[in-house]
Amino acid sequence: MTPPMVRALELARLAAEAGEVPVGAVIVDPATGEIIAEGANRPIAGHDPTAHAEIMALRAAAARLGNYRLTGLDLYVTLEPCAMCAGAISFARIRRLVFAAGDEKGGAVVNGPRFFEQPTCHWRPEVVQDEAHADEAARQLKDFFRSRRS
């Protein structure tokens, strides 16, 4: 069985190959280790500014389970979620968020507005940074943007 963050990194690579910013996400049932859903960035292909990897994975998990509340599930994502994705993670009642690379510019979990620390946030997942995969996730992003500039 592929570890969740390794699969998320594979999805990020596939997103980059499709011309999308390389971010991948998987939703896992921690009781079984089963990947319930996955997603990769698709704003360009989907003509949808909300088609971030986390949103795609949340939508797929909700459709599969027939419930928008994903209580008890874990989300693994290669990049620290933005404010939009943090809001969706909270609304979905994700149990645990694991992200690899931090995002000083657009992140909203440990950087920026720190969404889950706001008094208006009604559901706060456990947050863990997967530092073992942070460098690889950051490298994917740097390589992608470097290739776009040259």
Residues 6 and 12: their CA atoms lie apart, in Å, by 10
Residues 118 and 24: their CA atoms lie apart, in Å, by 26
The single residue of 54, 104, 131, 136 carrying the catalytic annotation is 54
Contacts of 105 (CB under 8 A, 6+ apart): 111
Q: Report how far apart the first and last C-alpha atoms of the chain are (Å, whole number).
A: 37
Q: Read out DSSP for 32-83?
A: T--EEEEEE--HHHHT-TT--HHHHHHHHHHHHHT-S--TT-EEEEEE---H
**Catalytic-residue membership of 54:** yes
Distance of CA 69 to the CA centre of its chain: 17
Active centre residues (catalytic): 54
